[in-house]
Amino acid sequence: MSVYGSREELRKQIKRERQIELLGENQRYYDLRRWKDAPVDEAEQIYGYNVFMTKDRAADFYTPVRVPLLQTTFSKKMYFWPIDWDELRKNKRMTQAPGWPSLINSPLFYKYPVPLSRTTKQQQNCPTKKYTNEKSTHIFRNSSADLRFKRLQRRMER
C-alpha cells in the first residue's frame, strides 16, 4: 500500500521525516506538542549506546542499551509553560497556567515589593523614594511598600 493511500500513514511519514531532517534544531519539542504526541513520545524509555565496550566486542557498541537513570514523564500541564511569578504580581487579574502552582494565595506573593517604573507624567511628578542595595535599585510611591522594603533591608543586614 502506498504512503499516500492512508492519512495516518502519510502523517506518520511526515513526522518521521521532520524528526530526521530537523535533528539538532530544537523543533522536535514544539512538533510533539503541536501534534499532541508528547504524552506518548516523551514518556518512552530512553536508549543509548554502550560506550564502555572493549575492542573485541566493538560490534556491540551499536546495540541499544536502556538508560535507567533517565526516566521521562509527561503531564498535561507541560503543554503550557508557567507564567513568571513577577508577571503575576504585576497583574493581579492574571492567573497561572493550568496545572502549575499559583502563589497568589501564598504569603510569599505579597512579601516582597514590586519595583515600579516611571512612565507617565503623573508618575514622574509624584514624590518618590529611592532605595539602593548591592543588587538593584527600587522606586516606591506608597508607604506600605516603603515599610516592607525597610523590613526586608533590615532582614538582609542581619
In tens, the pLDDT along 41-65 reads 888 888 988 888 888 888 888 889 8
pLDDT band at residue 144 using 50, 70 and 90 as cut-offs: low
**Residue 110: what pLDDT?**
54
Q: Using CA atoms, how far apart are residues 98 and 73, in angstroms rounded to an integer?
A: 17
In tens, the pLDDT along 147-157 reads 666 777 777 67
97: nearest Cα among 79, 82, 78, 76: 82
**Residue 35: what pLDDT?**
94
**Residue 85: what pLDDT?**
82
**Residue 8: what pLDDT?**
92
Residues 6 or more apart from 77 whose CB is under 8 A from it? Answer: 97, 98, 99, 100
Q: Is the full-model pTM beyond 0.75?
A: no
In tens, the pLDDT along 11-49 reads 999 999 999 999 989 899 999 999 999 999 888 888 988
Q: Is 70 helix (H, G, I), strand (E, B) or coil?
A: coil
pLDDT band at residue 122 using 50, 70 and 90 as cut-offs: very low
